[in-house]
Amino acid sequence: MIVLDGKKIAQEIKKEISEEVKTLIAQGKPAPHLVAILVGNDGASETYVGHKEKDCKEVGFRSTVLRFSDSVSQEELLLEINKLNTDSDVTGLIVQLPLPAHISEEKIIESINPDKDVDGFHPVNVGRMVTGLPTFVSATPDGIIELLKKYSIETSGKNCVVLGRSNIVGRPMANLLSQKAYPGDCTVTVCHSRTRNIKEICAQADIIIAALGSPEFVTADMVKEGAVVIDVGITRVKADNKNGFRLTGDVKFDEVSVKTSYITPVPGGVGPMTRVALLKNTLKAAKLSKSQF
Ligand code: GUN
């Protein structure tokens, strides 16, 4: 069994990105600039945006976080996005989700300039991804694809089960793995809360991508000998330690790992790959930007 070291691979990719940033700057071009809009005080969102700022700094990008109270109106946010869409100093623009209930996430995402949509959430970019065109792929699926590639994991003709059908992870993941490409060429089954016989379906899988957000959902009896298991879940569960919690994936690691050929740990697997995928997209946006260069 090989534990996929997302932390190490992400570090290597960050090094490559910083080298590219140095080259851009040496050519007299500006450092890529990521702008994140953060609404309200959701603890997890604060943490994620904090990570994004730290990652940008590490590779030499500029970053700005624009904070709004959770009483901000949809119109006010749309106005701000409109300004940023045409601001030539802004390379990538993300709006951290979730948003308060009175704001339509759909409308907000649709208002972002697809050329700056480094989250890959805009329907134009989702459509380009589905049809196999070059685009910004959302960060978690992109990070998983990169990890499979780095470890040269065989995917062609394999039965892949994706647990979860979110727009951010499950759906794009299933789509990418079914494409005529490497990594890809899989026969993909998407399971969700209404799926019957989920255990039996998983037990047939050569590759399982667990993205349910349900701690330790995948148990040893659901996993075939030699399967590849990718764990996207990361949930805080109460623990008897100094923090009072520990981070748990969607997979019961101790009992599942011994049956697998490859498995991702939590933390240190998919998480760092997701973070670096956003940086890759931002660099790509900078290279494609006509206004900046
Ligand atoms: N909320 C959870 N994950 C994400 C993400 O990748 N991007 C944004 N904008 N919000 C999120």
| The model scores a pTM over 0.85 | yes
For residue 119, the tally of other CB atoms under 10 A from its CB is 24
Q: Using CA positions, which residue lies closest to atom 11 of ligand 1?
A: 97
Nearest CA to ligand 1 atom 8: 96
Q: Is the CB of 96 under 6 A from ligand 1?
A: yes
Active site residues: 52, 96, 119
pLDDT in tens, the chain (293 residues): 999 999 999 999 999 999 999 999 999 999 999 999 999 999 999 999 999 999 999 999 999 999 999 999 999 999 999 999 999 999 999 999 999 999 999 999 999 999 999 999 999 999 999 999 999 999 999 999 999 999 999 999 999 999 999 999 999 999 999 999 999 999 999 999 999 999 999 999 999 999 999 999 999 999 999 999 999 999 999 999 999 999 999 999 999 999 999 999 999 999 999 999 999 999 999 999 864 44
What structural domains does the chain harbor?
A: 28-113 (3.40.50.10860), 139-271 (3.40.50.720)
Closest atom of ligand 1 to 94 CA is 9
Query: Probe ligand 1: pick from 46, 65, 77, 94, max atoms within 8 Å of CB?
Result: 94
CA of 96 to the centre of ligand 1 (A): 5
